[in-house]
Each structure stands twice: as structure tokens, then as C-alpha cells.
Amino acid sequence: MDIHKINANIDEKDLAIIDELKKNSRMSEQKLARKTGIPMTTVHNRIKKLRETGIIESFSIRLNYEKLGKPIVAYVLVKLTAGVDQKIMIREISKMPNVKEVAMITGEFDIMFKVRVASMEELNKIVVQKLRKEKTVGETRTMISYETIEVL
């Protein structure tokens, strides 16, 4: 999606600042100014504007899940039984341990979520022992990722 279509007040300077903050949200305004070629006062004011308008919602960290002992990434498709409220179900799934992202989707399945786990046993506990026992779940399909690259 083109960010210019989202907010016409965003320009190339804002995009340059956003790109650098996505790489390292702890970067100082002084270093941001050097990397982008934008004066430090302008960088400060732009970040303040981006926060006030809600374009920047928060600053976060990127974790090394291998070092945290959660090397397995799986995507789980969920087909709900008739009449189940998808919005309620995505909120419930989002509360499950190790779930990193949940989406309502179109097509044969209703929900897809991403999970990071330490072992196949841990994945089994989430999908087979917990999710499939829910009366609201009609079917699941699990896909394990061989390799994952997080795009900034």
C-alpha cells in the first residue's frame, strides 16, 4: 500500500525518518539527522508530528527468537463452525501463549495466526490439545516455516 495515499501530509523526509526508525527505533535524533541529511530540529518536529497524528504508534524491539529458544514458526489456518463470531475468536486466539499475529481472512478458512514455539510438542499443545478441542473450531491446518525473514 502506498503510504502517500494514506496521508497526503507525509513526504519524503517523513518516509526517510520512518525507514531509519524501523531499522533501529532507539536511534538518537542526532544520528537520525546525520543518516537522513535532515536538520536535527526538523527530525525532532517530524517525529513529534508522526506520533501526534498516530502514524507512529509506539517504538518497539526486534527479538532474536532463536536465542530465546523459540526457533519454530508455524502458521495455523482455522475454520470456525457456523455462527461463530470471528472477531471474538481472533481476540481469544491472540491471548494464547506464543501467538504473534492473528488475522481474519477470506477464503476457505476464517482465521490465520502465526505462532513461535520451542518445540513440536509445544505446537501440539496449542493446536491439537487446545484449539481443536474448542467447539467453535471446525478444522485447522498447520504450516511450519523452514525459514523466516522479518521484513522491516
Check which CATH number belongs to the domain holding 13 and give it: 1.10.10.10
Task: Summarize pLDDT for 43-60 with one digit per residue, the tens.
Answer: 999 999 999 999 999 998
- Residue 152's nearest CA partner among 41, 28, 42, 62 is 62
Which residues are registered as beta bridge partners of 73? 116
Greatest alpha-carbon span in the chain: 58
Same domain, 104 and 43: no
Whether residue 88 is found in the same domain as residue 135: yes
Note the pTM of the prediction, 2 decimals. 0.78
112 domain-assigned: yes
Mean pLDDT, residues 12-26 = 93
Q: Does residue 150 carry a pLDDT above 70? A: yes
Say if residue 33 is in the same domain as residue 95: no
Confidence grade of residue 76 (pLDDT, cut at 50, 70, 90): very high
Q: What is the pLDDT of residue 81?
A: 96
Q: How confident is the model at residue 8 (pLDDT cuts 50, 70, 90)?
A: low
Number of domains in the chain: 2
Average pLDDT of span 17-36: 93
Q: Which amino acid is at 94?
A: S
Amino acid at 54: G
In a domain, 77, yes or no: yes
63 domain-assigned: no
Range of the domain at 13: 3-52
Residue 130 has pLDDT above 50, yes or no: yes
